[in-house]
Amino acid sequence: MENIYQPFQIDGSGSTSAAEEALKQEAYAEKCREILSAGHSAYQKYFIQNEGCQMNALQTETVAGMVRDMGLIKTQQEDEADVVIYNTCTVRENANQKIYGHLGMLKSIKRSRPHMKIVFFGCMMQEPHVIRTIQERYPFVDVVFGTHNIHRFPELFFTSLTQEGQIIDIWKDTDLIVEGLPTDRKYPFKTGVNIMFGCNNFCSYCIVPYVRGREKSREPQAIIREMETLARDGVSEVMLLGQNVNSYGKTLPFPVSFAQLLKEAEKVDGIRRIRFMTSHPKDLGDDLIEAMASGTKICRHLHLPVQSGSSRILSAMNRHYDKEKYLTLVKKLRSAMPDISLTTDIIVGFPGETEEDFQDTLSVVEEAGYDTAFTFIYSKRTGTPAASYDNQVPQEVIKDRFDRLLSLVQEKGRERSSRFAGTVQEILVEEENREKGLLTGRTSHNLLVHFPGDASLIGQYVSVRLDTCKGFYYYGTRV
């Protein structure tokens, strides 16, 4: 099949400015709208699915906004959609396998709906071996793009509507940040805001820097303007997103620190809660602790991935901190904000991890007092330094350690979360619970709370007494 776009063009920072590019894409979106709204158009409904982290989820909402503006209506049923879109993740092998599973399934759906357009984009598409596989084994996929050129979706989709063949457009990296793209938010009252893109840290196990490119920060004015617009639109909680928010602003023409950005963000009228993710322990300075402690809108929750408790493994992971430095940071945070909720990410079975290293991880979980921790089995990612280490840990050893870690994390999490039992907390109500008559919301500490209430409260802040602790969530009563 003919490829009209050259995969792996290096371009990107390229020929046009972000503003010109935005105008050009608006024109393509208009052309798509004309084709899709024509009387005989077979294209009515779209299905979109996100895999991966919150940053992916935000870009999924952007693409959803673009197809919505082209006149398509969202459906939750993939097999009745005329356009099917997947945003992909490749951080661990199982994320990757899941996508191949979807591709297999789509093959049979498309057989009965040949007009269907299938679009795959995001992190996994940045991997050359994946593109080769899609070209060879999944030629029915119509449009493929990566992480750097989301704004070009209208042009790529238009090309697919008007020409034969698979459209593949992958950029290696870009300096371009196109502002003001449309978005279709999951919740009207809370959303993420990207403050930076990419990652420069190259943790030795991690594929993200290869698929997301070099770190670049958005201008603070653009972030604050977006927050103001969101607030006018009814958003009261924002989550500032970046792979390492603590290095925000360092490479801007007029450098700004993340703590300074937070102070500006606090001033936005209508925004009541500010969260952020992810903080890298190596760059977490006293200024951020001060900004958090003195802030009135910054939520009392910090996600601080430790990855391992062993200083030897942390060094092999290229994390630039050791066990002592991490625990000192935790102490500082707790002395500035005694009630803060800490959460973390932990990888089990990094190459060369011994039982002694693993015991260090358990001891950090004992000492740090996490409200909850996300635990992952190490996954070998082609192209990362750790993938070529020859001392991989046997699967049965990893499984045993993983189970031991999980039970400690759950035990400690339950202990820690129970500190709120009987207290009254302010909850932002997010949705109706599956259990009939119950609503679900979150505290500033990011604790989930279910309580009896009416759906009209969704999006509002209410006071709830936390009655029964169930580990990482509570049952409560409105007061």
Binding-site ranges for ligand SF4 (CB under 6 A): 199, 201-203, 206, 208-209, 243-244, 280
Measure the CA angle with vertex 320, ends 201 and 220; round to 5°. Answer: 50
What is the pattern of x (binds ligand F3S, CB under 6 A) and - over residues 122-161?
Answer: -x--------------------------------------
What is the Cα–Cα distance from 377 to 404, expressed in whole angstroms? 13
* Using rule CB under 6 A, residue 243 touches ligand SAH: yes
In the bound state with ligand F3S, the residue whose beta carbon lies nearer, of 111 and 214, is: 214
Q: Which residues, 6 or more positions from 15, have their beta carbon under 8 angstroms from its beta carbon?
A: none
What is the Cα–Cα distance from 317 to 315, expressed in whole angstroms? 5
The backbone torsions φ and ψ at residue 154, rounded to the nearest 5 degrees and listed phi first, read -55, -45
Residue 381 interface partner, choices ligand SAH, ligand SF4, ligand F3S, none, CB cut-off 5-8 Å depending on type: ligand SAH
What one-letter code names the amino acid at 434? R
359, containing H or E segment: helix 355-368
* Using rule CB under 6 A, residue 92 touches ligand SAH: yes
In the bound state with ligand SF4, the residue whose beta carbon lies nearer, of 206 and 427, is: 206
What is the pattern of x (binds ligand F3S, CB under 6 A) and - over residues 69-108?
Answer: --------------------xxx-----------------
Please report the DSSP string for 150-210 in residue order: GGGHHHHHHHHHHS-S-EEE-BS-------------SSSSEEEEE-EE------TT--HHH
Contact residue for ligand SAH among 29, 32, 58, 91 (CB under 6 A): 91
Q: For residue 196, what are the β-bridge partners?
A: 217
What is the Cα–Cα distance from 319 to 327, expressed in whole angstroms? 14
In the bound state with ligand F3S, the residue whose beta carbon lies nearer, of 96 and 236, is: 96
Beta strands in 76-151 (DSSP E): 83-88, 117-122, 143-145
Contact residue for ligand F3S among 55, 203, 230, 316 (CB under 6 A): 55
- CB of residue 52 to ligand F3S, shortest distance in Å: 3
What is the pattern of x (binds ligand SAH, CB under 6 A) and - over residues 44-83?
Answer: ----------------------------------------
What is the Cα–Cα distance from 139 to 134, expressed in whole angstroms? 6
* Using rule CB under 6 A, residue 245 touches ligand F3S: no
429, containing H or E segment: strand 424-432
- CB of residue 305 to ligand SF4, shortest distance in Å: 7
Q: Residues binding ligand SAH: what is the number (CB under 6 A)?
A: 17
What is the Cα–Cα distance from 72 to 142, expressed in whole angstroms? 17
Contact residue for ligand SAH among 184, 266, 345, 367 (CB under 6 A): 345
Longest dimension (CA), the chain: 69
In the bound state with ligand F3S, the residue whose beta carbon lies nearer, of 278 and 425, is: 278
* Using rule CB under 6 A, residue 212 touches ligand F3S: yes
- CB of residue 211 to ligand F3S, shortest distance in Å: 6
Residue 183 interface partner, choices ligand SF4, ligand SAH, ligand F3S, none, CB cut-off 5-8 Å depending on type: none
What is the Cα–Cα distance from 254 to 219, expressed in whole angstroms? 9
Residue 86 interface partner, choices ligand F3S, ligand SAH, ligand SF4, none, CB cut-off 5-8 Å depending on type: none
In the bound state with ligand SF4, the residue whose beta carbon lies nearer, of 166 and 246, is: 246
Using alpha carbons, list the distances in angstroms from residue 160 to 64, 119, 130, 168, 247: 17, 10, 20, 10, 39
In 3D space, the residue among 60, 42, 43, 63 whose CA is nearest the CA of residue 51 turns out to be: 60
* Using rule CB under 6 A, residue 239 touches ligand F3S: no
Contact residue for ligand SAH among 46, 370, 378, 451 (CB under 6 A): 378
In the bound state with ligand SF4, the residue whose beta carbon lies nearer, of 206 and 439, is: 206
What is the Cα–Cα distance from 157 to 163, expressed in whole angstroms? 10
- CB of residue 340 to ligand SF4, shortest distance in Å: 21
Using alpha carbons, list the distances in angstroms from residue 239 to 192, 307, 323: 4, 22, 28
What is the contact surface with ligand F3S in residues (CB under 6 A)?
52-53, 55-56, 89-91, 123, 208, 211-212
What is the contact surface with ligand SAH in residues (CB under 6 A)?
91-92, 205-206, 208, 243-244, 278, 280, 305, 307, 345, 347, 376, 378-379, 381
